């Protein structure tokens, strides 16, 4: 969820290609939190801690470029993905194909949303990508 290594003006295609990386990072954050806590934290506790982590990271990297409402909207989006990473290992067996398919579906939805926002000239409604 950072823009290190991203060339300035990478363009829409570069941003769309990075959505998958941002989604994977958010999902893995949830998986890591599940592993660190042994999956015994409540979802409410996970929301609070993961949300704080995600918001802090976004604010550090993008705080000067985007308004707080935009950072909070992106925090909400990535928090939902991180919660998938937190919850899924507690409710089903690990399956690489399932994980990959889930992440592909999330990315497809994000790309579609990004394209709709771009066609409406609404940069304030887009997803922050590295």
What pLDDT is recorded for position 8?
A: 33
Is the pTM higher than 0.85? The answer reads: no
What pLDDT is recorded for position 49?
A: 98
> What residues contact residue 91 under an 8 Å CB cut-off, 6+ apart?
none
Over residues 58-109, the pLDDT tens digits come to 999 998 899 999 999 999 999 999 999 999 999 999 999 999 999 999 999 9
User: With left for phi above 0 and alpha for psi between -120 and 50, is residue 38 left, alpha or beta?
Assistant: left
CA distance 91 to 125: 33
Comparing CA positions, the residue from 41, 18, 17, 19 lying closest to residue 30 is: 41
Average pLDDT in the chain? 84
What pLDDT is recorded for position 77?
A: 96
Domain positions in the chain: 16-125
């Amino acid at each position: 969820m950072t823009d290190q290594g991203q060339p300035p003006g990478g363009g829409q295609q570069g941003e769309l290609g990075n959505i998958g990386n941002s989604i994977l990072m958010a999902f893995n954050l949830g998986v890591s939190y599940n592993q660190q806590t042994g999956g015994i934290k409540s979802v409410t506790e996970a929301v609070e801690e993961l949300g704080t982590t995600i918001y802090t990271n976004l604010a550090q990297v993008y705080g000067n470029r985007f308004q707080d409402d935009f950072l909070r909207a992106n925090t909400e989006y990535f928090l939902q993905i991180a919660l998938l990473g937190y919850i899924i290992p507690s409710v089903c067996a690990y399956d690489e194909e399932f994980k990959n398919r889930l992440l592909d579906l999330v990315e497809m939805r994000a790309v579609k949303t990004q394209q709709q926002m771009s066609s409406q000239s609404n940069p304030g409604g887009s997803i922050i990508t590295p």
